[in-house]
A and B are shown apart, each in its own frame.
Chain A
Amino acid sequence: MRLSINTIVGIIVLLLVLAGFLAVFFAVEKEQTVPLLMVAIANVEAVILLVFLITRGVLQPLKDYRKVIHKVGEGDFTVRMKLGAPKEIREFGQGLNDMIERLEHAQEREKQIERLKTEFVSLVAHQLRAPLSDIKWALDVLKDEDMGKLSAQQRSVLEKTVLSNERMIRLVNDLLNVTRIEEGRYLFHRELSQITDLLLVMVEAYKPAAARKKVEVVLELPQNPPPLLLLDKEKMELAIQNLVDNALKYSPAGGRVTISLVYDTKGVEVKVRDQGMGIPESEQKRVFEKFFRASNARAKEPEGTGLGLYLAKNIVEAHGGTMSFVSKENEGTTFSFKLQIK
């Protein structure tokens, strides 16, 4: 049986009081009445006082320390032990404080590295943007034959270059958006919008790409549109685009991508379902991590940043929504997000 210090102290106090009474009892027996009784009571009181002082001096600081250690355990390295008497306790506290301080410094360094990383990515992305625009414009002028006729071969090369340029621009935009999220500068401007309008426009825009891949894109909407939602249309579009992009990218020829919307009085749910390769179960918990790409996705499509789902989830959550998915390898994946109706 394990006894707490409090119990042990209590037992000691009881024993001492008992001893005091016994002393008094024997004193009375020997008819040395009053003075000895007084002495005995004084003794007992002194013992109680002593125990009280020890409890205060040792147990109270230890209790305070326990609170501090608990906070440190939760990752708060700004707390410190109060240093009081006695000496042993003070030294113990000082030792712990030194340790916490080192942890605090390590944490600050880590934060600084994280900040530098974000700043670096942001700087690079910004610097890339201007030359990428230059290239885009130059390609456009060439493609429109403003500078002379193109041979079929030249046109074919040019068109591939245009696609590469577009991909780089998208990558830079994704990187900029990620750094904005991390710096808390990803601002949302919501207005009441009809989410089905957004889906209709998007499905239309995806038709050529889907036809090229021989994938059918189906939109399933309820008969009556849901109530208007407060949306940042541009960002919500980006979120859904990322889901549809993925669905298309990993669909086999002849497959189908189904975008559906259902709603009730509480909220709207949008689902993007594909019949693609699915996400291996062992990798599913990492799907929303920044820069993460599933191994089978990497093998099929070397291109891709692993930022799309991270961005999409952040955007949905900034709208107070939640995002989830179910996936089975070689059968397909369904991403869905829910937005509340307020």
Chain B
Amino acid sequence: MAKILIIEDDKFLRELLSQKLLKEGYEVIEGIDGEAGLKKLQEEKPDLALLDLILPGLDGFEILSRAKSNPETAGIPVLILSNLGQQEEVEKALKLGATDFLIKAHFTPGEIVSKIKAILV
């Protein structure tokens, strides 16, 4: 089954998401801050990464641009999950190569799973 990396510093949200993903049969790995997240991304090469933007250490934009500039990880789809959602931020993330930008308050974990399924078809 596909391997999903969650890079999210909020433990509660991380747990809710992995609960949902595990139930859907995905393998879940977690990065609890910027550095750890980037490391997991490079070492574990997940099939897809869910990436928060505001993180301690490296922020989500930095992780995204490093992931996309490294040929080994450039192909991994990255879904941004953020409380931000200003047009500038959305555009910046998409320009850096994010697959989609989901504002946390607008998508439930169930809807996020649907997005993941559509990408990993």
Chain A residues at the B interface, C-beta cutoff of 8 Å:
126, 129-130, 132-134, 136-138, 140-141, 144, 146-147, 169, 172-173, 180, 185, 187, 189
Contacts and interface: CB of A to CB of B under 8 A. Distances in A.
Contacts, number: 49
B83 interface: yes
Q: Quick one: which of B10, B19, B86, B108 has the most chain A CB within 10 A?
A: B108
Q: Quick one: which of A133, A146, A180 has the most chain B CB within 10 A?
A: A133
Given A146-B23, A187-B87, A187-B88, A129 B105 contact: yes
Contacts of A130: 10, 83, 104
A132 B107 CA distance: 12
Main secondary structure of the interface of B (DSSP, over half): helix
28 contacts: A126-B83, A129-B83, A129-B105, A130-B83, A133-B13, A133-B83, A133-B104, A134-B10, A136-B104, A136-B108, A137-B13, A137-B17, A137-B104, A137-B108, A138-B16, A140-B108, A140-B109, A141-B19, A141-B109, A144-B20, A144-B110, A146-B19, A146-B23, A169-B105, A173-B105, A180-B86, A185-B86, A187-B88
Nearest to A140: B108
Contacts of B19: 141, 146-147
Contacts of B88: 187
Nearest to B108: A140
A169 B103 CA distance: 11
Interface of B: 10, 12-13, 16-17, 19-20, 23, 83, 86-88, 104-106, 108-110
A72 to B, nearest CB: 39
- 7 smallest beta-carbon distances between A and B, as pairs: A140-B108, A133-B104, A133-B105, A137-B16, A169-B105, A129-B83, A187-B87
Nearest to B91: A189
Nearest to A126: B83
A152 B12 CA distance: 26
Q: Quick one: which of B19, B105, B106 has the most chain A CB within 10 A?
A: B105
